[in-house]
Amino acid sequence: MYSEGKITYRALPLPDRVRMEPEATLEAAEAFLAMMRKRHSIRDFSDDPVDEAVIRAAIATAGTAPSGANHQPWHFVAIRDPEIKAKIREAAEEEERAFYAGGAGDEWLRALEPIGTGVEKPHLTTAPWLIVVFAQRYGLTQTGNRYKNYYVPESVGIATGFLIAALHNAGLSCLTHTPNPMKFLNGLLGRPDHEKPVMILPVGYPSEKATVPEVAKIKKPLDEILSVF
């Protein structure tokens, strides 16, 4: 956390140790891989409710992520109010109409064809929760003074990854939804101008008829994404 005034380094003994025996380490890594392979981005949500405490715990997990200078340059807004979700959907679909009408460019639209996306975004109102992720371009002290944040996109990306993994670990599904531009979210959700909305995560359980694009199951093999020296 940023702190005004003089701050000094003070070392603390490592508070938690999770080291395992080598065999247990491999077993744990493979078990987590197997769980995360069951994670799917979906657009067909059930309207079954999700306890707010689960959402709070998942966002608290995101808040444990590492960040540049430990400034934690993020803010999460969790929304279950149907009226606010409807306003977000209306504004997002307006942006999407411009996007699919040519704003995206032919190459981008061709890349999206196998994913099956379109203008209509019913998941924004059907999913019991929306979580909007904001990145803080800079911070403000309690007295209104501005201070610089560091590695903001990287830090917020890591925290969002923590959040998605935590939601999946709780048996929930989500979708990374990024209408462009998203400035309308600041006004709707009362967030300051120095916070940039970067993602909307609809969160809930899959509907009985949920599907995923066939191409979504095609992942690069390990030897294409890993080099070992």
How far is Cα 178 from Cα 112, in angstroms, rounded to an integer? 13
List the beta bridge partners of residue 173: 204
Model confidence band, residue 100 (pLDDT cutoffs 50, 70, 90): confident
Q: How many CA atoms lie within 13 A of 4 on its CB side?
A: 9
How far is Cα 105 from Cα 99, in angstroms, rounded to an integer? 8
How far is Cα 203 from Cα 124, in angstroms, rounded to an integer? 9
Residue 219 has pLDDT above 90, yes or no: yes
Model confidence band, residue 24 (pLDDT cutoffs 50, 70, 90): very high
Q: Which domains does the chain have, with CATH numbers?
A: 41-225 (3.40.109.10)
* Positive or negative torsion for Cα 95, 90, 165, 219: negative
pTM: 0.95
For residue 42, give the 3-state DSSP assignment: coil
Q: What is the pLDDT of residues 44-74, one digit of tens each?
A: 999 999 999 999 999 999 999 999 999 999 9
Helix/strand/coil percentages in the chain, nearest 5? 40, 15, 40
